[in-house]
Structure 1
Amino acid sequence: MSAEQSGEAENPPIRRLTDWDTGRLRELASEHGTPLYVTDPERVAENCARLRAAFPDADVKYAVKAHTGRAVLETVREAGLDAECASAGEVRRALDAGFSGDRVDYTAVNPPARDLDAVVDWWGDHPDLTVTVGARDTLDRLAERGYDGRVCVRVNPGVGAGHHEKVRTGAAPKFGVPYDRAADVVADAREQFDVVGLHAHAGSGIHGEEDLAAHRDLVARMGELAREIGDDDIEFVDVGGGFGVPYREDDPALDIRAVADATREALGDVAATLAVEPGRYVVADAGVLLTEVNTVKPTPEVTVAGVDAGMTDLLRPAMYDAYHAIRNLDREPGADASADTGPVTVAGPICETGDTFCDGRELPIPERGDLLAVGNAGAYGYEMASTYNSRPRPAEVRLASDVLRARETLAGVTRLEHGGRDE
């Protein structure tokens, strides 16, 4: 076996749900209760290393919105990735996790006044942070606040891709200045700001050939624009991230090296540094959601497995019709239980028809008390959790057992109604 093959064996391109240790997951559920997010920062570090190997000459920035937990952010920082932040809150969390200002980009999308106020205030202590703007209006609002620092101009290249229409950003008018006006916006911005880069993003969950073709098209357009405005006058061309992971058990893993090669080729000859900003790819397979079956209801068509997790804990299936692999940890080969299979609907406790993790999927027929694991929950899992139906948010623990985020209580949910104040 070659050294490269050995490295791939030690750091496979995807961790499937079946790769998680059943005994360890059971121990964590028993110790901490359910619903429970389990996160493995060591896997985060492995994913960062694979990205850096694929893009050795690029600036790899982690899209913080995928998972903002302190342990994840510190792991990403230590692995050498920078931080791309979609809100002032994410900027603050990145700085608190030890990122220096020169490693933080704030991608402002229709930013609220309080966000701009906060970021400009922090800029005083971190003058090397970068603000990415997608509208002339945002440039004006920054100038009004006395900001004259580093700016990156976000461009709408008219090319979108991704796993669902709601996350295809590259052609949506909400994102970026129109491509044919970008050069003028850059020229005007240079009169007041230090314009250091260009930015575009096709969408989230880019995985199939059609999506990858759209990504290459976007990159090529950004290379053309960089050369038009003077690529030796900017530091970087950021072509976004959105690199997908295989959510279905039989889907192949993304060949990230091939994507990197195609990205460099599509960008063409530019003096500026290539930048990418993956999020999902870094953390998706580093997390699982554990949930316990509390109600089993046979029906003529399916067995309904009622569980204690719901769309308030993992929103993606309800919001995007997203597929997540599911394991019944108590009804697998070798488990002390039967493993008869049939169509199973895994449904949460929320009073919404959409509150299901799967509908009629062929799974082991569950019994009350069985422990289920939901895979690829590390990206946009806890981050999109809510307190709808006054349900406290779940706990998150490290695979090595220590608590990363405590389980929320009902008192925590209602504290602002009783005189509680934010820090």
Structure 2
Amino acid sequence: MFDRKQLVNAISQQETPVYYYDLSLMQQTLKTAKRAADVHSFHVHYALKANFNERILKLIRDAGIGADCVSGNEVRKAIEIGFHPSDIVFAGVGKSDREIRDALSHDIFAFNVESIQELKVINTLAAAQGVKARVALRINPNVDAQTHHYITTGLDENKFGIAHWQLGDAVETLSQSEHLELIGIHFHIGSQITDLNVFKSLCVKVNELNNWFDERGFRLRVLNVGGGLGVDYHEPDAHPIPDFSAYFSVFADFLERKPGQEVHFELGRALVSQCGSLISRVLYVKHGLKKNFLILDAGMTELMRPALYQAYHQIEKLDTGEGTGHDAELQRYDVVGPICESSDCFGKEVLLPSCERGDLIAIRTAGAYGEVMASRYNLRDEIRYLYSSAPVDVSAD
């Protein structure tokens, strides 16, 4: 549960904005996810793109979860933190030659390959190093994830993956590539998926393609179904941990594994979102004829999602004294930041207790795609962090 009293006490004398991470909730989430996956002998990799804060990564490593990377620097970071190369997969539609060479030198578990041309490039680079690269073909299943159009990745018009009609050419390329070993097929249809029926549709497509490869003599070792499980942005305290058991049960019930096949997942948001909040102070309150504005010291430079996706985050006033609780008079505010852009807005017509300069504001469910997307635009300060582990630990990079 979000401990407001502890947070207010810890941050009262600290500069803001600051990212607050509840490491206790983080560990509980990881334990719950790992236990639910282990019931079905599923393998879980964490998508570093969601959050690569080192304290978070070390907890994930210690939980026995692998690493899903989408850049060469993420591969390097995973190895630096202590993830074993055999637990690292490297995806991404635009891997550079340097990134591929570096990953080959570490002998990572697999490359999730997104085009036929990429297969040829990896084969050439692996040959030059005298090694063999393990690859999984990322296939675009044309499954509608029913999520925001910026974060859907599995439709025909998306840039990701290999299309169905290209599979024949992909198989032909593999047969001619002595330095590639096909170990599996890979899918990722999008992010923030809350309707589990979408994953049932994915299973149908995976089963069809698994059989397609089997009929052509390819006995696949891995079925990598990606991630995408959503979280509750509207009621984070009601659902601090996603229902991992229900999520994994969909694949256990509807995926048709062949003997010896492993099922791999790449979860990001679901593992880290609820453990993080962006804490900010009110700089100014502006009262207009039709609008009231709360101007915070945090902006789109600290949390890009509302400006980029029009994403919703629950916004709360943290109680700092009497008269600020649930019985306080409520007002509507447009909650905005200090950045010189009109899109620098966290929420419109947000219902909050009456606010004044210096009040603390929490923007919830910010553990994923928050800190990692931050920028120095407007020459902003480096991000600060607050961790809930005892003793309370504040640091800035």
The answer to whether the superposition gives a TM-score over 0.5 is yes
Specify which of 40, 55, 58 is matched with residue 22 of structure 2.
40
Match of 1:241 among 227, 236, 239: 227
Higher deviation after alignment, 21-30 or 344-353: 21-30
1:221 corresponds, among 200, 205, 211, to 205
The answer to whether the Cα contact below 8 Å between 1:153 and 1:186 also exists between their aligned partners in 2 is: no
Residue in 1 that maps onto 2:81:
97
Segment of structure 1 superposing worse, 214-223 or 108-117: 108-117
Residues 227-258 of structure 1: CA deviation (Å, up to 9, x unaligned): 22129722210111110001012897453322
Cα separation, 2, equivalents of 1:93 and 1:261: 32
Letter in 2 for 1:53: R
Query: Does the 8 Å CA contact 1:129/1:150 hold for their aligned counterparts?
Result: yes
Query: Which residue, 129, 135, 142 being the options, matches 2:109?
Result: 129
| Counterpart amino acid of residue 390 in structure 1 | L
Count of aligned pairs: 381
Cα distance in 2 between the residues matched to 1:182 and 1:252:
44
Residues 148 and 292 (structure 1 numbering): CA distance in 2 closer, same or farther, change over 3 Å? same
- Separation in 2 of the partners of 1:232 and 1:360? 56
- State how far apart, in whole Å, the 2-side matches of 1:250 and 1:69 are: 21
* Residue in 2 that maps onto 1:175: 160
Q: CA deviation at 1:183?
A: 5.3
- Aligned equivalents of 2:291, 2:283: Cα separation in 1: 16
Task: Compute the displacement of 1:274 (Å).
Answer: 1.2
Q: 1:31 to 1:369 in 2, by over 3 A?
A: closer
Match of 1:266 among 254, 258, 263: 254
2:90 aligned partner: 106
Inter-partner Cα distance in structure 2 for 1:348 and 1:72: 27
Could you say which residue in structure 2 is the equivalent of 1:3?
Answer: none
User: Which of structure 1's runs of 4+ aligned residues deviate more than 6 A?
Assistant: 331-334
Residue segments in structure 2 that go unaligned for 5+ positions in a row: none
Match of residue 311 from structure 1? 300
- Say whether residues 1:342 and 2:331 are aligned partners: yes
Give the aligned residue type for 1:196.
I
Matched residues in 2 for 1:68 and 1:232: separation?
36
Compute the TM-score of the two structures, normalised by the length of structure 2: 0.90
Contact 1:105 1:131 in 2 (8 A): yes
Runs (5+) with no aligned partner, structure 1: 1-18, 408-423
Q: Deviations over 1:369-417 (max 9, x none)?
A: 000011001001101101111112311232133245x15xxxxxxxxxx
Query: 1:70-89 maps to which residues of 2 (within 5 A)?
Result: 70-89=54-73
Change (3 A) 1:396 1:58: same
The structural deviation recorded for 1:159 is: 1.1
After TM superposition, the structure 1 = structure 2 runs for residues 134-153 of structure 1, keeping only pairs within 5 Å, are 134-146=114-126, 148-153=132-137
Partner of 2:318: 329
CA spacing shift, 1:59–1:323, aligned 2, 3 Å: same
User: How far apart, in 2, do the equivalents of 1:329 and 1:403 lie?
Assistant: 19
Backbone CA RMSD of aligned residues: 2.3
CA distance 1:365–1:241, shift in 2 (3 Å): same
Q: Which residue of 1 aligns with 2:174?
A: 189
| Aligned-partner SS, 2:52 | coil
Q: TM-score, normalised by structure 1?
A: 0.84
Distance 2:142 2:103 in 1: 29
Query: 1:106, 1:24 → 2: CA distance?
Result: 39
